[in-house]
């Protein structure tokens, strides 16, 4: 193993490096619209139909043909009720009206539709009880989007709110990039996969299942390669045996500079290290390398550090490899700090935090250890402190990132 460069890489420089280095790998396929959420579009999506597909009523009421030259506020009521799904065979003449339901196609001759609540019926006449409605209450054909309009760009991730527009535009099948096949490996002699009991000297493998779930939530296909002990040969065999089966490897543990940190040793010896040791807390030992044509992302072994590195670094990196057009950036907002904190300059820190919506401030978990599992379930997001920030006082504005913005 060559002598490592111990200078920490700023997070912003890491992101710039990954944006330049990472290439989109996936192949294309088509899936039904009911299975496309969280997938990445491999082509632009255009509307196949207008929406609405025809002029229709926005309210329950009366379709009217008003004579602009007449001041009358009563109309002859024609027989019938216009319903959704039924083509009207009516042509309204001047000062005529007919009952209509929301969504029904409007008849020819209609100039406006008035709310039922603003009228009364008497002797086959429609009378206004009030007329303060400034809208004509007609949904015009194509007012939302027209056939041929660009709806979604290639490289966009499909969200649940996008489904209505996809379906309403006639896109029942969607072109997507195939999900990345992510080979997931945890390392450490001390790890036990037996969640029903714990042996002396062992700890539960608290990285494997959370990371597998997280990766699948992001739309990737996870190949669970299990745990590997602290043994360089076993690690090498595990990776080489599966290198043709996966698109990307994600590992945990063994990424620092110790004698038995075999992931970093292996990648420095047999791969091309892109970045190693980042100026963030937690998560400093993070490593990214390329092994032949496959990327390897080595997360720290401590569960909190692994989880936070996955959210902050792995989410956008895998998105780029998986075909996302834009570098993922989570939603955040400014809120008041309900704590005091001294931070070393020159690194970015992510604090486990809980936002109090009623009081409008955010608190931090009182202990900073990366092995405190309860801190993740206690918190509902992260506070990001930039490289230049040092002293945080109560009442200062800080950046809060809800966990939900990563999922």
Strand partners, 113: 63
Q: What pLDDT does residue 2 have?
A: 45
Instruction: State the chain's maximal CA–CA distance in angstroms.
Output: 97
CATH number of 11-26+179-321: 3.40.50.261, 3.90.45.10, 3.40.50.300, 3.40.980.10? 3.40.980.10
Q: Which residues neighbour 33 within 8 Å (Cβ) at sequence distance 6 or greater? A: 163, 166, 167, 171, 172, 173, 174
Q: What pLDDT does residue 400 have?
A: 98
- Average pLDDT on 258-284 reads 93
pLDDT at 5 over 80: no
CA nearest to 362, candidates 344, 379, 349, 386: 379
Per domain, the residue ranges of the chain are 11-26+179-321, 31-51+155-176, 56-139, 333-406
pLDDT band at 25 (very low <50, low <70, confident <90, very high): confident
Q: What pLDDT does residue 3 have?
A: 44
DSSP for 309-330, written as a single string: HIIIIIHHHHHHHTT-SS----
Q: What pLDDT does residue 407 have?
A: 86
Residue-wise pLDDT for 178-202, tens only, equals: 999 999 999 988 775 665 555 556 7
pLDDT above 70 as % of the chain? 94
Question: In this predicted model, which residue has the larger pLDDT, 52 or 73?
Answer: 52
Residue-wise pLDDT for 134-175, tens only, equals: 678 999 999 999 999 999 999 999 999 999 999 999 999 999
pTM, two decimal places: 0.86
Please state, in angstroms and rounded to a whole number, the distance separating the CA atoms of residues 202 and 152.
49
Q: What pLDDT does residue 132 have?
A: 62
Q: What is the CATH number of domain 56-139?
A: 2.170.190.11
Task: Return the H-helix or E-strand segment holding 129.
Answer: none
Q: Indicate the fold that domain 333-406 takes in CATH.
A: Beta-clip (2.40.340)
């Amino acid at each position: 193993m060559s002598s490592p460069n111990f200078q920490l890489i700023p997070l912003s420089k890491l992101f710039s490096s990954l944006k330049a280095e990472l290439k989109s790998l996936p192949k294309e396929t088509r899936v039904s619209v009911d299975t496309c959420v969280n997938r990445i579009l491999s082509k632009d999506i255009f509307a196949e139909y207008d929406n609405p597909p025809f002029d229709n009523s926005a309210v329950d009421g009366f379709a009217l043909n008003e004579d602009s030259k007449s001041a009358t506020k009563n109309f002859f009521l024609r027989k019938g009720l216009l319903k959704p799904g039924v083509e009207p065979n009516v042509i309204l003449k001047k000062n005529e009206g007919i009952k209509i339901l929301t969504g029904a196609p409007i008849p020819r001759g209609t100039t406006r539709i008035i709310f039922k609540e603003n009228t009364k019926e008497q002797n086959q006449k429609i009378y206004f009880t009030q007329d303060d409605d400034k809208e004509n209450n007609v949904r015009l054909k194509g007012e939302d989007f027209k056939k041929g309009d660009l709806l979604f760009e290639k490289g966009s991730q499909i969200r649940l709110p996008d489904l209505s527009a996809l379906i309403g535009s006639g896109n029942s099948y969607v072109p997507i990039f195939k999900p990345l096949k992510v080979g997931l490996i945890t390392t450490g002699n001390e790890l036990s996969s037996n969640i029903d009991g714990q042996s002396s000297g062992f700890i539960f493998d608290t990285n494997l299942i959370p990371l597998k779930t997280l990766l699948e939530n992001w739309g990737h296909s996870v190949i669970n390669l299990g745990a590997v002990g602290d043994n360089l040969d076993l690690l090498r065999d595990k990776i080489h045996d599966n290198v043709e089966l996966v698109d990307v490897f994600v590992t945990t543990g063994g990424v620092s500079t110790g004698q038995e940190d075999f992931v970093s040793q292996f990648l420095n010896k047999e791969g091309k290290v892109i970045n190693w040791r980042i100026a963030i807390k937690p998560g400093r030992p993070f490593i990214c390398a390329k092994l032949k044509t496959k990327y390897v992302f080595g997360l720290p072994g401590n569960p909190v550090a692994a989880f936070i590195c996955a959210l902050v670094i792995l989410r956008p990196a895998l998105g780029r490899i998986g075909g996302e057009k834009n570098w993922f950036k989570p939603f955040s907002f400014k809120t008041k700090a309900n704590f005091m904190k001294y931070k070393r300059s020159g690194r970015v820190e992510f604090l486990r935090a809980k936002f109090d919506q009623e009081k409008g401030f955010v608190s931090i978990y009182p202990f900073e250890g990366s092995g405190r599992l309860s801190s993740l379930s206690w918190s509902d997001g992260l506070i990001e402190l930039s490289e230049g920030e040092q002293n945080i006082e109560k009442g200062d504005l800080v950046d809060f990132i809800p966990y939900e913005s990563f999922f």
